[in-house]
Amino acid sequence: MKKLLLLFICLSIVSLENAQAQKKKGKKSKAVAAPAAKSKDKDAIKSYADVITKEAITDDGLFKTHQVKKEYFYEIPFNVLNKDMLWVSRIAQIPEGLGGGYMNAGSKTNEQVVHWLRFQDKILLKIKSFSNIAPDTKAIAKSVQVNNYEPTLYAFNIEAFNADSTAVVINVTKFFSEDVPAISGLSSRLRKEYKVKKLDASRSFVNSVKSFPENIEVKQDFTYSASEPPTQAKSESISLQMNQSMILLPEVPMQPRLYDPRVGFFTVSQNDFGSMQLKADEKTYIRRWRLEPKDPEAYARGELVEPVKPIIYYLDPGTPENLKAYMKQGIEDWQKPFETAGFKNAIIAKDAPTPEEDPEFSPEDIRYSVVRYVASTTRNAVGPSVSDPRSGEIIESDIIWYHNHLRSYRNRYLLETGAANVSARTLDTPEEEIGEMMRMVIAHEVGHALGFPHNMAASYSYPVESLRDGAFTQEFGLAASLMDYTRYNYVAQPGDKNIRFIRQMGPYDHYAANWGYRYIAEANSAEEEVPVLDQWIAEKANDPKYKFGRQSSTFDPQSQTEGVGDDPVAASTYGLKNLKYVAANLPAWTSDKTNNYDDLEELYGELLGVYSRYVGHVVTNVGGVFEDLKKPEQGGFVYTRLDEKSQRASMQWLQKNIFATPEWLIDKSILQNIDHAGYFEKVRKLQERHLNSLLSFDRLGRLMDAETTAVNYYSALEMLKDLRTGLWSEANSAKNVAIYRRNLQRSYIDRMGYLLKEEYTPRRFNRGGFEGAINYEVAASDVRALVRGELTSLRSKLKIARKAGVNTVTRYHYDDAIARIDTYLDTSSK
């Protein structure tokens, strides 16, 4: 009974507390009822009219875009959700000096594929990758999806639906006003360099949002707080304008063309997990524009046919008037190679429309490819492009031309051709010749934008002596491709007649354009094209004019930057002979004309660089290995060594032309008018650069490797002995050693010491077509033994030479050299 009474009392208490709690709760709810409802409404999906009010400024296109006061909205049709779109972030306006001179208005900062999808009451902007793929019809596609989960770039609340519920409205103001790294103009490196603190929201805003049938363009003005900005340091600010382009990719991707390394193209790659090859099949496609014939039947008959959509380049509105014609010629020079591929008028140059003609035109608009003229002191030009990663289709490209670049070409023209070319012996190069140089640079950069990388074997296809033949050079130019770095004919000698000195299109350019762009109507897939493509290569396989050489000048004598002709020793001999003539006349062509030394100093500095390139071409012969890309059915080897005789001759050339003091460079009329001191250091740096290149782990590894497969070869030991004997020739003849040779000899000992004690880290490139170094375990190889043996032999020789009646400074030099050797040998043995 007591238990029942106790239970009754407890229940009564609980009931009373609940009643009081409900009473309090009711009073509290009444007090805050309105705010709670308001908060709920804020998160709820509103009516279209409440979001897109009568004040809205609407632009119709891929999405409808709306501006309501200071807010921006996207109205996204449901039928474009989940569709692939290319998003390109570019700098539209840039402060001086940002990025060190190689960033500019028009520079691309990111390129990515995105798609929009709905998740509950949100719209997600997802970044999509095509690195790993599988056909949707195969079960493994599910595994590819779950193991390649796409990052969410941003999540937007659904604000409203349109009247017929066919589209969803989101507010994009915050997204475009925030500092989103994936679409930013400042990389993490730049943020660190300039000590960027944060985006200043009070000085950042959306400038404009424009919608077009297939793309949307957004401009943002951003100002960052930064402790060390590139310019205007006291402002502690970096301001730049970004342009965000989003374009709908084709519903049906262009039929891709499989890459073949025997023909040079930029590429996109995918891992296809649907392959039956017991592994993911890496598929690599070339990057190219979509050119399809307007009249397929006429095209099939071999007639020239216009493409459905030609490639059009617009000239930057800021291009100087006197340069426009040369730029247009450079662009349209590619019409001839495209004719080889069966297309006429495939590429066209136009002036940009004026604001009156097209107020919507913008160089950043992804619909337009533009040759951007950049008011910058940078000396360069580049030809980037953006492409569809599904197929390699190039969507758009901007050629970048920096204002001061012609200065470099004027200087190189004078230095490399002045001996044989009278019109180059001036600071005021004739305008038509400057224009021709610009035309070829633009054509070269357009070549990159068409998908063609550098072909460094193109210059090697022409015999050196043919470059002294006027008829040959006028017809065939200086190299088989404009995509080589053969800028000028530095082989031609004074007295040679009718010589072409400036590069031009070559037969390889026509061949590559045909291989990459000819429409193969009968093929319904990339794989079905391969037999035809292989046949085209086979037809030209034994002709050096149609050879492609990757940009890998570390080991291949035929694929060298700035090379000319098929014999680096002969070409560099001619080039050096011309350069000595130019050096002797440099004051007369510069300071004597201008009455100041600015140009003399600039050109002398660049002359040292030209000389160094000539030497470097010969250095590559030592331990040189030719790379001839081929399929097994072609027979022969892909990699073959340069013959022993040529390597020995190259070493002799180097002893004579770089390690023997280049007295012709030590011209008082130049040096004593451009600097007060440091003359010996200029020579030392030049010599040391090539000495260190010869004495590299990489080159020694290739020389040692020759012993494994060759019968007659130039060995690492022979190279080291030849080098030591030449560099220390004074020790063999009791001669005094001059200051330039003393510096070089010390550099030799220090480099040998480096080989004894340092570890080897092979240089690797992340860019396709750039070949890395040989990888081997140095400590387990002959390197240390060979170096120790050479230093020991040298020490013995110097101990004798120091007693042979040499002057005091030479004796001191030998004593110091012996002490250095002892230090390295003692250190390396511990």
3-state secondary structure at position 75: strand
Closest CA to 544 of 505, 501, 511: 511
Q: In whole angstroms, what is the distance from residue 279 CA to residue 274 CA?
A: 9
Q: Quote the CA–CA distance of 18 and 36 in Å, as a whole number.
A: 23
Report the SS3 class of residue 95.
coil
Polymer length in residues for the chain: 830
Half-sphere CA count of 512, side-chain side, radius 13 A: 35
Q: Tell me, what's the pLDDT at 135?
A: 86
Which conformational region is residue 42 in: left (phi greater than 0), alpha (psi within -120 to 50 degrees), or beta? alpha
Long-range pairs, 213-216, Cβ under 8 A, ≥24: 213/61, 213/62, 214/61, 214/62, 214/247, 214/248, 214/367, 215/61, 215/62, 215/245, 215/246, 215/247, 215/248, 215/365, 215/366, 215/367, 216/61, 216/62, 216/63, 216/65, 216/74, 216/245, 216/246
Kindly tell me the sign of the dihedral angle through the C-alpha atoms of 789, 795, 801, 803.
negative
**Which residues of the chain register pLDDT less than 70?**
1-43, 552-553, 763-772, 827-830
Residue that the structure tokens 């009646």 belong to: 805
Task: Please tell me the distance from the alpha carbon of residue 88 to that of residue 110, in angstroms, as a whole number.
Answer: 6
Q: How high is the pLDDT of residue 498?
A: 97
Maximum alpha-carbon separation in the chain: 133
Q: Which residue in the block uniquely carries the two structure tokens 């070269």?
A: 444
81-110 pLDDT per residue, tens: 999 999 999 999 999 889 887 788 888 999
> Which residue, 73, 89, 88, 87, is CA-closest to 123?
73
Record the tokens describing residue 763, joined without a space.
């240089």
**What predicted TM-score, i.e. pTM, was given to this entire model?**
0.89
Q: Tell me the pairing of strands 394-402 and 369-374.
A: parallel
Name the phi and psi angles at 651, rounded to 5. Answer: -65, -40
Spatial distance between the Cα atoms of 345 and 364, rounded to a whole number of angstroms: 25
What is the DSSP track for 280-326? -EEEEEE-B----BSSHHHHHTT--B-BSS-EEEEEPTTS-GGGHHH
pLDDT at residue number 282: 87
What letter represents residue 395's amino acid?
A: I
Q: Which of 678, 546, 538 is nearest to 604 (CA)?
A: 678
* Placement of tokens 């470099």 in the chain: 408
Please name every residue paired with 757 in a beta bridge, in sequence order, or none if there are none: none
The per-residue pLDDT for 552 is 67
**267-272 and 237-248: which strand pairing?**
unpaired
Q: Are 510 and 482 in contact (CB under 8 A)?
A: no
pLDDT in tens, 500-516: 999 999 999 999 999 99
Q: Are 31 and 177 in contact (CB under 8 A)?
A: no
- Check the CA dihedral 446-452-457-462 and report its sign: negative
Pairing, β 85-93 against β 108-119: antiparallel
Q: How far apart are CA 314 and CA 117, in angstroms?
A: 35
Residue 374: the pLDDT is: 82
Question: What is the model's pLDDT at position 2?
Answer: 42
- The pLDDT, as a whole number, for residue 42 is 55
The rounded distance, in Å, linking the Cα atoms of 708 and 486 is 35
* Dist. CA 499–CA 671, nearest whole Å: 33
